[in-house]
Amino acid sequence: MSRNTPRRRPRLSRRTPSPLAAGTVAALAIGALSVLSPVAAAAPCDPWPPAGGTGGIGGSGSLSGSAATPVATPATPWANGASGYIPVLQGRTTTVELLTGPTSPNRTVERFGISGTDLGILWENGNASNPQIMMALGDTMGDCRLPGTQWRSNILFRSSDRTLSNGMRIDDAPMERAGLAKSILPRSNLPGEVTVIPTAGVEVDGTQYLRYMSVASWGDPGEWVTNYSALAASGDNGENWTPVAGTARTGTGSARLIPANLGAPFTTHTAGQMSAFLKHGGFVYEYLTPPGRSGAVTLARVPERSIRDMSAYEFWNGAGWGRDHRSAATVIPPRVSELSVSWSARLGRFITLYTNGNNDIVMRQAATPEGPWSGEDILLSYRHVPTLYGAFIHPWSPAVETVGSDLYFTMSTWDAYNVFLMKTDLNQIPARTLPGATTRMRVADDSWTRDTPDPAETGETVLVDRLPIPRA
């Protein structure tokens, strides 16, 4: 999934000291604060969609090969010759490593045929004998020299790595053939469907579930139209996926593109095309946003055992739970993009991460899934990484599982068009006091509701360098 600009990346480490750390030390040693423009280089596969794709993005024809010259407007905004870089950060939030791409320690080109991808949606597989983190990725490029550039609409990785301080190793992926990971939710290749993108994942009773969206067309940066969103299920640890009949919510695109195995759509729900899942108290909570990056968040919940039954979903209306999604109240106001939600044992509260309207990665806290949610804490500022998007919490973060302070999350960037593992030290996040139920807000401590200052302005996070990502 892109909707703006992607890609490239370096080798950061396995179980050895990270070049990020070395770069930071070197930069500090010479007293240099390098805030440079991105280094010019080709993206993994500039033209997109590839030859034989469905088109419908931007204004160019389908081209193949990274040396091809667009005949009109580039297929996507990233096809402009810009390249990515690794942000070297010091302070509250730091870059751990580049997870995907030609020079990542995971060797995704050689092992999986992946030179460019994005998102990195994370959840636990729930298998006590073989616990793994599932990682769903969006639109994926492979060998740019081949016709079609090995474009796949989505990919799944699995990881059993719990030592996140020096990176996240990928165990394996569902494969199409040796050296090429398969698209787990293939697009239809019919006119009117550009791609199929995962937006959330969750495990219930040993079955993996993905909520995904069928994209009809890309619009202005950060805006797109969907045909529908639906659930898919896997009973074999993510190896194979089947759409769940009756779970489609139509958007403003064409309902005619809903495949036969999904059956009739359950409802039209344009405000519920993208999701984040949270398991809590026997329920699966589903945080919903419209397609794009400017919508507000509403909230649904369903008993875990009924996740496939769309008629069992209830929606938070501000005072209680009701069946009509049209009465759903806003729980987080616009503009929210690609959020994730988790319980934090460290904070003793629920947390959500997302990209806001200023293109910052922010965190909010809440005592209950429906809120009230706190003001925003900026974990990473657009001033440091202006091309960032997506923020998906790693379930095995010390700040999630225990009282440790380290919160790990994935992040993508337009220009690199790959996925990074990031870390924030929650010890450096200002404390917030939740007002009591009888507290008069005009005299209450405002630490709960206020947005805290940008750490790029206060110096709590410092960009010390931008490392150009070597060519593959």
Q: Which sequence spans correspond to the domains of the chain?
A: 19-468
pLDDT at site 181: 98
Burial tier of 255 (Cβ tally within 10 Å: 0-12, 13-18, 19+):
middle
Q: Write down the CATH number for the domain with range 19-468.
A: 2.120.10
Residue 444 structure tokens: 């209450």
- Please list, in sequence order, all residues whose beta carbon lies within 8 angstroms of the beta carbon of residue 148, skipping any fewer than 6 positions away: 50, 51, 52, 53, 64
Compute the distance between CA of residue 408 and CA of residue 397 in angstroms, rounded to an integer. 5
Using pLDDT thresholds of 50, 70 and 90, give the confidence band for residue 381. Answer: very high
pLDDT at site 146: 85
User: For residue 143, is pLDDT > 90?
Assistant: no
Pairing of strands 85-91, 461-468: antiparallel
Mean pLDDT value across residues 155-164 = 98
**Given CA atoms 63, 214, 338, 160 in this order, what sign does their dihedral have?**
negative
pLDDT (tens digit per residue) in 49-93: 433 333 332 222 222 222 222 233 333 334 444 457 899 999 999
pLDDT more than 70, % of the chain: 80
pLDDT (tens digit per residue) in 229-245: 999 999 999 999 999 99
pLDDT at site 76: 39
User: For residue 27, is pLDDT > 90?
Assistant: no
pLDDT at site 92: 97
pLDDT (tens digit per residue) in 87-122: 999 999 999 999 998 789 999 999 999 999 999 999
pLDDT at site 219: 86
Strands in 358-418 per DSSP E: 361-366, 377-380, 388-393, 406-413
- Please list, in sequence order, all residues whose beta carbon lies within 8 angstroms of the beta carbon of residue 339, skipping any fewer than 6 positions away: 276, 287, 289, 297, 332, 352, 353, 354, 391
CA distance readout (Å), 281 to 285, 303, 343, 356, 368: 10, 9, 12, 28, 11
pLDDT at site 469: 76
- Please list, in sequence order, all residues whose beta carbon lies within 8 angstroms of the beta carbon of residue 430, skipping any fewer than 6 positions away: 377, 447, 452
Query: Apex CA 225: angle with CA 371 and CA 113, to 5°?
Result: 95
pLDDT at site 470: 62
Mean pLDDT value across residues 231-260 = 97
Residue 139 structure tokens: 């639109």
Compute the distance between CA of residue 299 and CA of residue 325 in angstroms, rounded to an integer. 9
pLDDT at site 103: 84
Report which DSSP code applies to 429.
Answer: S
User: For residue 223, is pLDDT > 50?
Assistant: yes
Q: Cα-atom radius of gyration of the chain, to the nearest Å?
A: 21
| Cis preceding-peptide flag for 372 (omega within 30 of 0) | yes
Query: Apex CA 203: angle with CA 200 and CA 207, to 5°?
Result: 120
- The CA dihedral of 187, 193, 196, 197, to the nearest 10 degrees, is 160
- Please list, in sequence order, all residues whose beta carbon lies within 8 angstroms of the beta carbon of residue 137, skipping any fewer than 6 positions away: 100, 114, 117, 118, 119, 120, 121, 154, 155, 156, 157, 198, 419
pLDDT at site 36: 34
Compute the distance between CA of residue 92 and CA of residue 254 in angstroms, rounded to an integer. 45
Are 83 and 468 contacting, i.e. CB atoms less than 8 angstroms apart? yes
Are 133 and 122 contacting, i.e. CB atoms less than 8 angstroms apart? yes
Using pLDDT thresholds of 50, 70 and 90, give the confidence band for residue 220. Answer: confident
Compute the distance between CA of residue 406 and CA of residue 211 in angstroms, rounded to an integer. 28
pLDDT at site 414: 86
The DSSP element (H or E) to which 111 belongs, if any, is: helix 108-112
Mean pLDDT value across residues 34-45 = 40
Are 139 and 2 contacting, i.e. CB atoms less than 8 angstroms apart? yes
pLDDT at site 37: 34
By 3-state DSSP, what share of the chain in percent is helix, strand and coil, each rounded to 5?
A: 10, 35, 55
pLDDT (tens digit per residue) in 294-316: 999 999 999 999 999 999 999 99
Pick from 3-7, 103-107, 109-113, 178-182: least confident: 3-7
- Contacts of residues 66-70 at CB distance under 8 Å and 24 or more positions apart, as own/partner, are 66/42, 66/144, 66/145, 66/149, 70/46
Pick from 27-41, 210-224, 269-283, 450-464: least confident: 27-41
pLDDT at site 127: 97
Query: Apex CA 402: angle with CA 399 and CA 407, to 5°?
Result: 15
- The CA dihedral of 126, 129, 130, 135, to the nearest 10 degrees, is 0
pLDDT at site 14: 28
Are 84 and 9 contacting, i.e. CB atoms less than 8 angstroms apart? yes
User: For residue 352, is pLDDT > 80?
Assistant: yes
Mean pLDDT value across residues 7-18 = 31
- Give the mean pLDDT of the chain: 84
Beta bridge partners of 249: 229, 267
- Please list, in sequence order, all residues whose beta carbon lies within 8 angstroms of the beta carbon of residue 181, skipping any fewer than 6 positions away: 112, 113, 114, 140, 152, 155, 156, 157, 173, 174, 175
User: For residue 8, is pLDDT > 60?
Assistant: no
pLDDT (tens digit per residue) in 393-431: 999 999 999 999 999 999 999 888 899 999 999 999 999
Pairing of strands 249-250, 267-268: parallel
CA distance readout (Å), 56 to 61, 132, 277: 9, 36, 30
Number of residues written out for the chain: 472
Token pair 């990233």 is found at: 78
Mean pLDDT value across residues 130-138 = 98
